Structure 1
Amino acid sequence: MATKPVILTADDDPQVLRAVERDLRAHYGREYRILRAASGPEAMGALRELAERGTPVALIVSDHRMPEMDGVEFLGQTVTLFPDTKRVLLTAYADTDAAIRAINVAGVDRYLLKPWDPPEERLYPVLDDLLAEWQASYRPAFEGVRVLGSRWSPRAYELREFLARNHVPYLWLDIEARERDAEVSRLASTLGDPPHLPLVVLPDGTRLDSPTPAELSGHVGLQTRADRDFYDLVIVGGGPAGLASAVYGASEGLRTLIVEREAPGGQAGLSSRIENYLGFSSGISGSRLAQEAVTQAKRFGVEIVTGAATALRVEGPYRVLELADGSSVSSHAVIIATGVQWRQLDVPGLERLQGAGVYYGAGTTEALAVKDETVYIVGGANSAGQAAMNFARFAREVVMLVRGPSLTASMSQYLIEQIEQTPGIRVELNSGVVGVHGEERLEAIDVFCSSSGETQTLPATSLFIFIGAQPGTEWLSGVLERDGRGFILSGPELMKGGKRPPGWPLDRDPGLLETSVPGVFVVGDVRLGSVKRVASGVGEGSVAISFVHQYLANV
């Protein structure tokens, strides 16, 4: 339910305070939450807490003669926290001159004389008018997760991407907008000195200072530990291949667990638009595809845990997966579907600016932030083209820096045609980034053109990099057979010279998607020889389940 706006009353006289609260509650209690405070400092503390939680305050009613802090001073200080709130000063007849001055100086809207009996004549009509005026301009505050920080903070970017990819609604509050955004100003006023940013404020008011995604996971409803110790099937990775395996496995009766390090969807989940996936004539965003797949998997009873796999070992007929939090889960069969990670661009100083103007992948949370700016994209494959089309909706100009002489070798023709027809996209061939400038954030880039031999230094605030990918399979070293780049071998790739892999214990050859450990299968981009397409990953993930059944039938 939506949070009720608050009416706060402050008075140091307990009898008067109870009377004000009683009358306010009787007339406004159904639509407003009535709070009271016995002093100005106590009321300020309550207001700071309300500001931290994002709770709206419609009206403050304060007595004038209070010790420590009189009503005029108190109401004046509340303007910083709640600039749009209506303010009423309760005063004695002898203080009316001070009350009138307060209207001009302290932002007080009205003053009322004590006593106010009967309230139907001397209190409610005045407050009704003020509350009606407040309601006319009131917009209910966002009640989900709020993230306050700087656009150029790597941790803030990491948290926003984590929340977005896990489909957790959140509100981004840029600290640099404090002068023009009332909510940012209110929340910023509650920060300590020095402030610990980014600050995450949960719906219940809990504050987390610069948390890691792992620390945030449990607070936003993501499952971080498995419910059971044993499953029929454990899938490592929640991209299209892993989700497809989960849907088919669970729908066919297997108790199935997905362990996903970051967020379901994998790299495909970061795609702004997938145009050539069968069944979606107008295309579908990677985020939407991932969300639908997660919903489908959960409908069949798939359990999804957010966590990183750190090791895999064999204990007789069981496969044991160890996780970063120290826990472990066992299963009869395992499917590795961890996909690939973006390859790093080897440019001095680039790593320092990652998340502060330099981004790997689509940077979905940055699309609105680049409005009216020039965005540079490094890469010439489909992922780069899809990102260019997305950013062209917001940015003044999108410049694609492509190392090769054309796009045809690495990009689908439909996407090339879209780029050519979009006036806001400029493609620079035979070009690449060789240097970056900036201390706390990206300020400029050096672009080398191989055809002219010239290097230009260009002002830049946003650089998105798509230069291929590599598997992150170091945690499987010594367990599964991999090639020199880390891709996992399976099926025929394991049969060197027609011989089974060393240590293979069964009197049969490894299955088509089976790794060098029986009962451990690999699907999707992490598999050596896979076709790097969403559809092929989904196909492999679904087909793998038939091999899992064959394996389980003979365990």
Structure 2
Amino acid sequence: MALADDRRHQMFPVLDAAQVASACRFASGPPRRFAAGEVMFDVGDCDAPVWLVLDGAIDVTRRDGLGHEKPITRQGIGQFTGEVSQLAGRASLAAGHASADGCTALPIDAAHLRALVVGAAELGEIVMRALILRRVGLIEGDASGSVLVGTPGDAQVTGLQGFLTRNGYPNTLVDADSDEGREIVERLGILAADLPLMVCPNGAVLKRPGTAEAAACLGMTPELDPEAVHDVAIVGAGPAGLAAAVYAASEGLSVLVLDQRAIGGQAGASARIENYLGFPTGISGQALAGRAYNQALKFGAELAIPLEVERLVCAGDGDRAPHALQLTSGQRVRARTVVIASGARYRRPDIENLRLFEGAGVSYWVSPIEARLCAGEEVALVGGGNSAGQAVVFLAPKVKTLHLVVRGAGLEASMSRYLIDRIAALPNVVLHTRTELVALEGDVERGLVGGRYRNRDTGEEHPCDLRHVFLFVGADPNTGWLQDCVALDGGGFVTTGADGAGPGRSTSLETSRPGLFAIGDVRAGSVKRVAAAVGEGAAVVAQIHAHLAADAATAQAVEATP
């Protein structure tokens, strides 16, 4: 059953008189009358308010980049428009016009909407649930969001699909070699060298776009005020960074979160996390990240994705001037404190021809996109940690044979018992212990066609047929952007514990430089678990408060000095 049918009463609730009266207290302007058929908001409109219907009705539709349009619902008295985009003033993914009898509605802009969902608990729960479910409905439905035109499995196509999907934006792929694809290419006068295309919801056509260009077309990236000084800037939107954003914003701090790709970090690519507290049936990394993202928006955190930090410009010793972050876009943002939550980069093992096939047969994560591409085929997955185990459990039922390649003598030293038992019960998983994948074979035209394994004990090599390889061989800390501002350990991880308690005894998450904190996988000595990262994200906020209070006290003392 479709979500719109199963949970329609929650997606499109009707507020009673008392709830309408409560919502009216959060209006951002007076009621407005719209004539029959008048457009109230359109796909791509930024800062479109939520409209609370006081009289008449609104016909709401969804539309994709090619102009395919379908009705979503008619909202009458006591109902309200909007989805998650409206919490942050992002571009609208739906359109609405006054019905045949016209409409009188009350506007609630982004700031007032956030005040409503926080300040009116019961009503806020109804509104927040509806906004989230409507976004999910847009993702699950057709005739919504961006249209990608290209070759399935192409590295750039797969990258764009992953970027849009992980950030919760609906998208559809049209094969450029299909009848529909050829018709689109011919109608737009596109050359083969211009593929893939991205047709944005507003109809704009992008040729071979990168993620930054795609985000700009979707209105994902906020306008950053170069004069603003945030209480805290968080670099990284993984579990640690999102947790810090939720707790800091909920406690009244002004929060900016920056990430160069997508919410969720490496955990966001996990097909299913089954040992995270409170989810007995498991939850996907993307779903967990999406919930945290919505919470952060609810409390007023500003999330700027995809914006990459090029370098940290740290304040000098004893200098109360704010820290600055230089972005690759040329922008600069400032903050009184900075939380380093940039996690780790996927490690590239020493495999011959690896770079040739990255994104075109070789992946560092498993999502439904990759699973569809390799359905019914023989694949190899390299790695023996929990992330590898979760990927095996998700992928194996969809492929012919999955070859699990590990360097060690088994999985017991590096993988949770429940995953080991589950993998053992999968009939099409072949475990290769004390083995390495040393080479990949194929070319640009044919793609990946095979590989070579090597036994680590005997040195013997043997070939294998492969179309897809998934690499889960660990990660290296993402600290190159720190520019020697903070101390690192021998492995490149950020050291913390500036409270002088000694190695292994400190609970401080502050780095060697005051006002700079490190949490999650990027921190030396951290436990590489989602729950641990979330805990550090929560804990760091108290330390940020203490730092800001001490800084304010110092400033007052300086001002009071004759």
Residue 66 of structure 2 corresponds to 53
Residue 48 of structure 2 corresponds to none
Conserved 8 A contact 2:204-2:217: no
Conserved 8 A contact 1:54-1:141: no
Residue 165 of structure 1 corresponds to 166
Q: What is the SS of the residue equivalent to 1:457?
A: strand
With over 3 angstroms needed to count, the CA separation of the structure-2 counterparts of 1:285 and 1:52, relative to structure 1, is closer
Residue 522 of structure 2 corresponds to 526
Residue 351 of structure 1 corresponds to 355
Residue 93 of structure 2 corresponds to none
Q: What is the SS of the residue equivalent to 1:368?
A: helix
Match of 2:535 among 519, 539, 550: 539
Aligned partners of 1:550, 1:435: CA distance in 2, in Å? Answer: 52
Residue 151 of structure 2 corresponds to 150
Residue 186 of structure 2 corresponds to 189
Residue 29 of structure 2 corresponds to none
Q: What is the SS of the residue equivalent to 1:338?
A: coil
Say if 2:412 is the partner of 1:415: no
Residue 243 of structure 1 corresponds to 242
Q: What is the SS of the residue equivalent to 2:157?
A: helix
Quick one: which amino acid aligns to residue 369 of structure 1? L
Quick one: which amino acid aligns to residue 452 of structure 2? D
Q: What is the SS of the residue equivalent to 1:514?
A: coil
Aligned partners of 2:204, 2:241: CA distance in 1, in Å? Answer: 34
Say if 2:477 is the partner of 1:479: no
Residue 488 of structure 1 corresponds to 494
Aligned partners of 1:455, 1:309: CA distance in 2, in Å? Answer: 43
Residue 202 of structure 1 corresponds to 200
Matched ranges for 1:271-420 at <5 A: 271-306=270-305, 307-315=307-315, 316-317=319-320, 318-420=322-424
Match of 1:446 among 452, 455, 460: 452
Per-residue deviation at 1:511?
Answer: 7.0
Quick one: which amino acid aligns to residue 374 of structure 1? E
Q: What is the SS of the residue equivalent to 1:321?
A: strand
With over 3 angstroms needed to count, the CA separation of the structure-2 counterparts of 1:494 and 1:153, relative to structure 1, is farther
Aligned partners of 1:225, 1:439: CA distance in 2, in Å? Answer: 42
Residue 252 of structure 2 corresponds to 253
Aligned partners of 1:141, 1:364: CA distance in 2, in Å? Answer: 17
Quick one: which amino acid aligns to residue 331 of structure 1? A
Aligned partners of 2:259, 2:503: CA distance in 1, in Å? Answer: 36
Matched ranges for 1:28-43 at <5 A: none
With over 3 angstroms needed to count, the CA separation of the structure-2 counterparts of 1:554 and 1:205, relative to structure 1, is same
Quick one: which amino acid aligns to residue 445 of structure 1? G
Per-residue deviation at 1:363?
Answer: 4.5
Deviations 1:160-179 (A, max 9, x none): 11111111111122335x1x
Aligned partners of 1:515, 1:456: CA distance in 2, in Å? Answer: 48
Per-residue deviation at 1:200?
Answer: 0.7
Quick one: which amino acid aligns to residue 166 of structure 1? N
The alignment yields a C-alpha RMSD, in angstroms, of: 2.6
Q: What is the SS of the residue equivalent to 1:491?
A: coil
Q: What is the SS of the residue equivalent to 1:409?
A: coil
Quick one: which amino acid aligns to residue 313 of structure 1? V
Quick one: which amino acid aligns to residue 308 of structure 1? E
Conserved 8 A contact 1:375-1:391: no
Match of 2:471 among 435, 448, 465: 465
Deviations 1:23-57 (A, max 9, x none): xxxxxx9xxxxxxxxxxxxxxxxxxxx9982548x
Deviations 1:80-120 (A, max 9, x none): xxxxxxxxxxxxxxxxxxxxxxxxxxxxxxxxxxxxxxxxx
Structure 2: 5+ residue stretches without partners: 1-36, 38-62, 70-140, 552-562
Aligned partners of 2:64, 2:281: CA distance in 1, in Å? Answer: 43
Per-residue deviation at 1:226?
Answer: 2.4
Per-residue deviation at 1:152?
Answer: 4.0
Deviations 1:130-167 (A, max 9, x none): xxxxxxxxxx9623211122234222222111111111
Deviations 1:197-221 (A, max 9, x none): 1111112321100011111111123
Aligned partners of 1:519, 1:493: CA distance in 2, in Å? Answer: 13
With over 3 angstroms needed to count, the CA separation of the structure-2 counterparts of 1:368 and 1:492, relative to structure 1, is same
Conserved 8 A contact 2:148-2:174: yes
Residue 79 of structure 1 corresponds to none
Aligned partners of 1:141, 1:157: CA distance in 2, in Å? Answer: 19
Conserved 8 A contact 1:161-1:364: no
Aligned partners of 2:158, 2:232: CA distance in 1, in Å? Answer: 34
Quick one: which amino acid aligns to residue 155 of structure 2? P
Equivalent pairs: percent with the same residue? Answer: 39
With over 3 angstroms needed to count, the CA separation of the structure-2 counterparts of 1:496 and 1:299, relative to structure 1, is closer
478-487 vs 488-497, greater mean Cα deviation: 488-497
Aligned partners of 1:142, 1:545: CA distance in 2, in Å? Answer: 42
Per-residue deviation at 1:355?
Answer: 0.7
Which structure has the bigger radius of gyration?
Answer: 1
Aligned partners of 1:196, 1:494: CA distance in 2, in Å? Answer: 58
With over 3 angstroms needed to count, the CA separation of the structure-2 counterparts of 1:261 and 1:225, relative to structure 1, is farther
Aligned partners of 1:335, 1:368: CA distance in 2, in Å? Answer: 37
Structure 1: 5+ residue stretches without partners: 1-28, 30-49, 57-139, 499-508
Conserved 8 A contact 1:510-1:516: no
With over 3 angstroms needed to count, the CA separation of the structure-2 counterparts of 1:432 and 1:251, relative to structure 1, is same
Match of 1:220 among 206, 218, 221: 218
Q: What number of residue pairs does the alignment pair up?
A: 411
Say if 2:170 is the partner of 1:174: no
